[in-house]
Every structure is written in C-alpha cells, then in structure tokens.
Amino acid sequence: MVAEFLAFLNPATGTDNVLSFLLSLIWIAFLMIFFLYPSFGQRMQLSYMLRDLEKKLNRLKAIKDEIHRVTVDTIKRVGRPEKDPTPEIDRLSEFFIIQPESMDPYGLVYKLEHILETGERTYENEVAKIAPHATEHQVKSLTNLVEVLRGINTLYRVVRHYYLLGRKTSNIYMVLQIQMVLPMIIEIAESYQQAATAFSKGQPIGDGVGPLVAAKLADGREKERYEIAKDTIVQEVEIENRKVYVVRAAGPGGTVGRPGEAVKQLIERLPENPKLIVTIDAALKLEGEETGKIAEGVGVAIGGPGVDKYKIEELARSRGIPLHAFVIFQSITEAITPMRESIAKSADVVIEKVRQLILEKVNGGETVVVAGIGNTIGVGV
C-alpha cells in the first residue's frame, strides 16, 4: 500500500506529475488565505500572544494559591481557630475600600482618613476574630498577610479580565496592553510571594528602615515612652542636651501606625514649638540606582495615601517649623521583602546623619521631633 502510494507520487513512475500538482495546490491555498483573509497574520500573532498570556496567568494563579496557602497555614498555626478559617480568609481577600468622592475637594483628606481608618479597623477586627489565640502584635502581622493576599487576588483578577476579554473579542490591542505590563506585574507578584513569607514569620522588611532608625536612635537613651496615636509611640530621648521626641509605629507587629496624627498630637502638647521635624522613610529607587543609598532634603518623607503627610505639612506651615527628610532608596520588591544588608547598614549611617543634623540645627535645651516612617514588622521597642 505504502509502496504503491510512493510510486504514485514519484514523477518517474506516476501517471502525471502528481507531487508538483499537489504542491502548487497548497501554494494556491496559502495565497488565497492571505488574499481572502488579510488579518490572518494578526490572528496567528494573537493566538501566540494569548498562549503566552495564559502561561503567565497560570504563573500568577500559582503564586496566588501559594500565598493563600501560606495565609491559611499561618492563621491556623498562630491563631489556632476552632473552625477552618478558609471561607473567612476568602471573604477578606475580596474586601474593598471605596475612595471618597473628589468632585468637591474640600475636606477630602479627612474623608479619606476616615474611610481608611474604618477599613483598617474592620480588617484588624475580622482577622482578630479568625485568629483568637494571636497576640496583639501577631494580629497586626496577620492583617498585613491577609492584605498581601488581597493584593495578589486583585492583580490576578485584573490580568484574567484582560486575558478573557482579549480572547473573547479577538482584540489584539487589548491583549497587547496587558502583555506589555505583564513582566512588571509578574515581578510584583513574586515580591508579594516573598512578602507573604516575611509577614508570616515576622521578619523585618525593607520598608521598616524608618522605624529601625528610630528604634536604634532611641535604644538605650529612652527617658519616657507613651502611645500617642493608634499603634504609634513617642520615645523621649536626650542627645547632647537636646530633647528629641522619636515618633514611630509600635513594633514588632506589622503596622505603619499613624505618624501624621502622632506628630500633630505631640506638637500640640508640647509647651513650645520644636526647632525641626525630621522624617525618615524608604523611597523608591530608580532602576540602576544602588539599594540603600541615602538622600536628604526638605519636606515630609511619608508615602502612602497622603493623609499623614498632609497633617504634618499643615501643622509645620501654621507654626513655621522647618521640615527635613532622609530617604533610603530601594526597589518596590526590596521594600516589601526581608530587609537587605545594604538597607540595614544604611540605617546606621542615617542615625549618624540625624545626630549631625540635630547638633547643627538645634541648640542645647531646644527640642526636635524625629519620625521613623514605615512598617515596623520585626522591629521592637
């Protein structure tokens, strides 16, 4: 049978030149496809892109499932709940916060503050409920962990949305847009995965460099300590006869505290205005820049939604207090993953710089406020 077929195809033995006839037929078919179906090339490209997207979407899903597993395991281990916390965790991972309406910007900051505080409190209470045996600090770190889960969940849902929409509409431009940003998204997702590990174990993260500087500045010199706003403490220390009020979130649980409200409350209580307000925070480096590089400037170094920054700026302006800032550069990945050596090392350099600044700008007997901004997980007092 095979031999007969081969003989049939062979130009020497076949009746006509069947092989060349078949070949031309294929060529004509190809040509017809491109004539009658001009977007054929694009369709091919689209299907390649969709396949690529699908692969990365699966990777995202794997990361999401891994973070989910870590979250459930940690809550079971630390919180020792009586029943399976999975449904509650799933519910919390879909939790949302609606931004306030900005059509009328008057009082917007306080509206935002109110909504964020409500969200934070609700979240913390919910986590405390599903982890009844966790300590106060552990609840805060677990809350961070559930927030990471919520972040990756949102990321996954958005990418899946574009993938499915692109497939449904065969719209190459829709797919192109998500494909362009996907490498960055994957990178963020991978840092979330590491962040989840850090939060589940209570390891200090790169963003914690602000509280770390504050902790080391006050360590061994502390005269008095009190809570001034939710999760935020003041440590009174003296540096060469200058009174220094160190403001930071109370560790070692994972929280950023309320530095804005804390500085405001503190200064309103003080008998006289401080000479200086110094803020220390982690800042996003540009690609190619060195991790742990220190820069100094003026203004309030606080990231996030802007409520804390606004409060300190407003207060400093009304009282004419100069604002100084130190930032420690790091990438977004380094900020939420366990602290790198270079960042920890720059904390010591910043402490020295803050000391120098205080000695230079503040006279003996005067006061200064130093605020270490960031997530204080793994940094105790």
- Binder of another protein out of 111, 340, 353, 355 (CB under 8 A): 340
Least separation in angstroms between residue 203's CB and another protein is 5
Least separation in angstroms between residue 259's CB and another protein is 19
One-letter amino acid for residue 110 of the chain: Y
Could you tell me which residues come within 8 angstroms of residue 206 by beta carbon, excluding any fewer than 6 positions away?
Answer: 282, 330, 334, 335, 336, 337, 338, 339, 340, 343
Q: Which stretch binds another protein (CB under 8 A): 152-160, 240-248, 322-330, 341-349?
A: 341-349
Question: Does residue number 236 form part of the binding site for another protein (CB under 8 A)?
Answer: no
- Binder of another protein out of 339, 350, 362, 373 (CB under 8 A): 339
Q: Cα(185)–Cα(266) distance, rounded to whole angstroms? A: 40
63: tokens are: 């990361």
- Binder of another protein out of 145, 215, 321, 369 (CB under 8 A): 215
20 and 26 Cβ atoms separated by less than 8 Å? no
- Binder of another protein out of 17, 86, 194, 265 (CB under 8 A): 194
52 and 58 Cβ atoms separated by less than 8 Å? no
89: tokens are: 């965790």
Question: Does residue number 47 form part of the binding site for another protein (CB under 8 A)?
Answer: no
Cα maximum dimension of the chain: 112
Could you tell me which residues come within 8 angstroms of residue 286 by beta carbon, excluding any fewer than 6 positions away?
Answer: none
337 and 214 Cβ atoms separated by less than 8 Å? no
- Binder of another protein out of 32, 34, 43, 52 (CB under 8 A): 52
Question: Does residue number 171 form part of the binding site for another protein (CB under 8 A)?
Answer: no
Q: Cα(233)–Cα(150) distance, rounded to whole angstroms? A: 28
- Binder of another protein out of 257, 338, 372, 374 (CB under 8 A): 338
Question: Does residue number 224 form part of the binding site for another protein (CB under 8 A)?
Answer: no
One-letter amino acid for residue 231 of the chain: D
Least separation in angstroms between residue 204's CB and another protein is 5
Question: Does residue number 219 form part of the binding site for another protein (CB under 8 A)?
Answer: yes
Question: Does residue number 274 form part of the binding site for another protein (CB under 8 A)?
Answer: no
Give the residue with the Cβ less far from another protein, 7 or 44. Answer: 44
Question: Does residue number 145 form part of the binding site for another protein (CB under 8 A)?
Answer: no
Question: Does residue number 346 form part of the binding site for another protein (CB under 8 A)?
Answer: no
Q: What count of Cα atoms within 13 Å lies in the side-chain half-sphere of residue 296?
A: 12
321: tokens are: 């207090």
Q: Cα(199)–Cα(179) distance, rounded to whole angstroms? A: 30
Question: Does residue number 372 form part of the binding site for another protein (CB under 8 A)?
Answer: no
- Binder of another protein out of 212, 233, 280, 336 (CB under 8 A): 212
CA atoms 219, 220, 222, 225: torsion sign:
positive
Least separation in angstroms between residue 354's CB and another protein is 17
Q: Cα(148)–Cα(64) distance, rounded to whole angstroms? A: 10
Q: Which stretch binds another protein (CB under 8 A): 197-205, 223-231, 240-248, 277-285?
A: 197-205
Residues that bind another protein (CB under 8 A): 48-49, 51-52, 55-56, 59, 183, 186-187, 190, 193-194, 197, 201-204, 212, 215, 219, 251-252, 338-344, 378-381
